[in-house]
Amino acid sequence: MVTETIEQGECDAEELLATIEDGTRVVVRTESFGGEHDVTLRFDGDTYYCDTPTRLHKHDDRDEMLKCIRKYGYCET
């Protein structure tokens, strides 16, 4: 699996989702709680994953994943 690393806010949410749906694992560098953290976003063909330093979020469909990406500010839109 190919891995791409981006900075938080460096992307468009739809483009990011298309990238992970194509099989690329995307690591988003985020800043929160006074430090830098990596969040890994991926798709296994059935389930979408947001692997944060404290929790693994699983989403069953595209719309749920898109809401998560927007809610946590991984992308600009």
Q: Which residue has the higher pLDDT, 43 or 33?
A: 43
Residue 70 amino acid letter: R
Judge contact between 56 and 45, C-beta under 8 A: no
Question: Is the pLDDT assigned to residue 35 strictly greater than 90?
Answer: no
Q: How far apart are CA 43 and CA 21, in angstroms?
A: 6
Q: State the pLDDT at residue 26.
A: 97
Q: State the pLDDT at residue 77.
A: 62
Q: How far apart are CA 38 and CA 21, in angstroms?
A: 19
Question: Is the pLDDT assigned to residue 29 strictly greater than 90?
Answer: yes
Domain ranges of the chain: 3-71
Q: Which residue has the higher pLDDT, 76 or 63?
A: 63
Instruction: State the average pLDDT for the chain.
Output: 92
Burial of 33 (0-12, 13-18, 19+ CB in 10 A): exposed
CB count within 10 Å of CB 4 equals 14
